[in-house]
Structure 1
């Protein structure tokens, strides 16, 4: 595609600083030297590579499109089809054609033709090797830590109560150790794998530190600062099956204890249990167990955040996660589904179930975001973040509140709507009215 830039577009392109999502190279560069940038953008979060812009921002492009053929052909050798786009840029007052390559994050590990692998850090393309390369492969879904061998006697899982119960429940009946070896949960060398440990060991955290769930309660709608922490964070350990159900139940208990404002006064919140169950199950089963950290559940006055270690794997993004399927830990996902009353009853449909449950109660859709090497799902249960509760909290902290202040903190622009909310709060005895007309304020009784 060829585009003629305006003066403003040219100035923004030539004046743009290099950053995690943008790099520029001279048109005199040898194609092979572009491999670092192409690999780095493909392995990280994508970006744009402008060829024909000098370090000082000067526009010195290719004389004609054909002169850039080697560049385009080289990009096609490094990047998979469909994950990059080439645009040819011109400007009436500039010399030559600038090649702009737009790169998406690739599903697999993207290497240069010489086999080197890079990632984008700040404004540079950095090589990755050893443990960093293994972490990148896990993030891409190329390998899974669930297959990692652990050094302890296999009898600790083959003779565990959870494993014995499981083997008695499946058809055909099979001896525990034979089943574990057949499923690859004990490898050929006789070592238990991470998957076998997480599924059947009575205390997998002995060998896989921070493979549990931590639950926090913050009495705020803002950021998780220590001063708002209510009590000591709770840790839920154990095998994955018990861990999921225990963490869901404890989280529901905490959420149910938070009061909300209704037409009849302050009541307990109604919350779709399927949503929390499916989102937490997804976080535990699809997390990267190669990252030494727990799943974190943060319960606020207006939301629940489920923070899971590991990026979304392969081609899955926050935008397509409801439509795409990719299991980072396929053995764990498959076998835990064979437990009686499995937590992942509808394999591959968990998040869709959660979204439907929220919509059925007319609550906001969950929000899915990636931060570095983590995925955070935010469940904004509007009943906890109702305008009534926000108004009462403001009046509690500040002594009183008026219509203008209420519109600002709730985001509701209609003065009439806020007036009706105040009338409801007064009628239920949550607030009392002071003053008249535009001088009216409301405070606690």
Structure 2
């Protein structure tokens, strides 16, 4: 059965997980029994970018606009048969009496898009509530999905917006990876491409080798006084001349652990890394590692330099450069904090890729860039398709939490936190293996817990387990904890 989603893509795994499958009339689609608690969650579901509820009276043609909007954005979940009580602003379960009553909905939606590979249908039933709610899961797909009237919509917050101009349509096609900016032509002096250090280094690794101009023409990367964006990125030693604010990486160091940051936390001026894509990736990884080596973190053995897996930094930065949307005038940003690294890449996830399936699927926004850079000696994307998986596994091997991936309207953000996989209790007891006592502030530093009261609750759990006790003579701001001192016989 399909998982449902609420707010910001947070999965409610217990929302519609079937207790049993039931039979109520004839239905092409499964009917699942859910509990009253699960039904109550549906009735309080917040309508947002990923979720929507509709009364059963909605016209299928109107519903097809919402389906189009979801499929052309990040996908989402629709629940049909939940009405709104405008008197008290609450939602009411008022489903279909039998599955046949809703037959027009799948028919119209599938006629609008015959393959229907973006749609999954199922019914939900709860004892004591009237009728069946039709749950439609709309998947994000690479192709454009139109409404039954052949119009195109996009999901914006909790509503939909019609795509009614050529510019808006092109922007959507770029977002979905239907067209790619890497194939746009840029006016470039020929010598900048066919006589660059980058193309000469590249051709040393090509079999059979050949003349730069011949190779570039055969790959359809150059024509008189022009080069494709892909060619500029790969084979121009200074692509920022022709692609300003699209072909560089900004590295910023913030001396804080806070999420809400301002310029007052910025340490020095941002660094700008430039060069062809191959060198851009390796130089950015190297500079990020240099900065990280100067950051110290409290451990059970005292202050130690922060250590992130080389594979994680390399793969996340490589992914940000190769799969970004080069039509957006913005550089990749690497923000280095006391407890995390953030890598922000311009553009949404391409094609059918979502934050949920990104480790299990592929869709290259810039296929020529990905293919050609893999021909360089020691390519940065050596294991094509395995990059982020490698990054996640490397964090686990160091017993660090997995990276977190967020998608916003204009970018993809990967957050790599330097936080242990262990529970707060495990981290505290590890520290106590090497130290006589521990304070609340030290424990928060170790565990990443921000709240003093939350940390106090961890200590109380350890106390109840007979592992720690407060030091009697230490009170107030000086209070601390120690291992339980057993009474002498």
What range is the shorter-chain TM-score in? 0.7 to 0.9
- CA-CA distance at 1:315 after TM superposition: 2.6
Deviation at 1:109, TM superposition (A): 2.2
Name the structure 2 match of 1:130: 166
In the alignment, which of 190, 208, 218 is matched to residue 172 of structure 1? 208
Deviations 1:50-79 (A, max 9, x none): 445556467665554323222111222345
**Map of 1:24-173 to 2, 5 A cutoff?**
24-25=53-54, 27-53=56-82, 56=86, 62=96, 64-78=98-112, 81-88=116-123, 97-128=132-163, 129-173=165-209
- Give the superposition deviation at 1:180: 0.9
Q: Deviations over 1:283-302 (max 9, x none)?
A: 11111111111111010001
Matched length: 416
SS at match of 1:115: coil
Question: Structure 2-normalised TM-score?
Answer: 0.74
Of the candidates 412, 416, 426, which is equivalent to residue 375 of structure 1? 412
* Structure-1 separation of matches of 2:265 and 2:442: 23
- Taking the aligned partners of 1:295 and 1:153, their CA distance within structure 2 comes to 26
Q: Give the equivalent residue in structure 1 for 2:349.
A: 312
Alignment of 1:356-367 (within 5 A): 356-367=393-404
Q: CA deviation at 1:328?
A: 1.6
**Equivalent position of 1:330 in the other structure:** 367
Contact 1:306 1:376 in 2 (8 A): yes
**TM-aligned CA distance change 1:262 to 1:5, over 3 Å:** closer
In 2: Cα distance, 1:102 partner to 1:314 partner: 17
User: CA offsets, 1:151-188, max 9 Å, x none?
Assistant: 3344421222222332244221211121112112126x
* Structure 1 or 2: more helix by fraction: 1
For residues 460 and 101 of structure 2, what CA distance do their matches in structure 1 show? 63
Offset from partner CA, 1:228-261 (integer Å, 9 cap, x none): 1101111111211111111111111110011234
- Matched residue SS, 1:150: strand
Instruction: Give the direction of change, closer, same or farther, for the CA distance of 1:217–1:58 in structure 2 (3 Å limit).
Output: closer
Q: CA deviation at 1:308?
A: 1.0
Which of 267, 270, 295 pairs up with 1:258? 295
Separation (CA, whole Å) in 2 of partners of 1:34 and 1:183: 45
Cα distance change of structure 1 residues 440 and 417 upon mapping to structure 2, 3 Å threshold: farther
Look up the SS of the partner of 1:245 in the other structure: helix
Distance change >3 Å, CA 94–CA 291, structure 1 → 2: same
Q: How far apart are the structure 1 equivalents of 2:329 and 2:46? A: 35
**Is the Cα contact below 8 Å between 1:51 and 1:100 reproduced in 2?**
yes
Answering whether residue 227 of structure 2 is matched by residue 192 of structure 1, we say: yes
Backbone CA RMSD of aligned residues: 3.6
Instruction: Show structure 1 runs of 5+ residues with no match.
Output: 392-400, 419-433
Of 402-411 and 153-162, more deviation after overlay is shown by 402-411
Give the distance between the partners of 1:317 and 1:442, measured in 2 at CA: 47
Equivalent of 1:275 in 312, 322, 325? 312
Q: List alignment gaps of at least 5 residues for structure 2.
A: 1-29, 429-436, 450-454, 464-470, 481-489
TM-score scaled by structure 1?
A: 0.81
Question: Is 1:407–1:415's contact at 8 Å kept on the other side of the alignment?
Answer: no
Whole-angstrom CA distance in 1 between matches of 2:275 and 2:460? 52
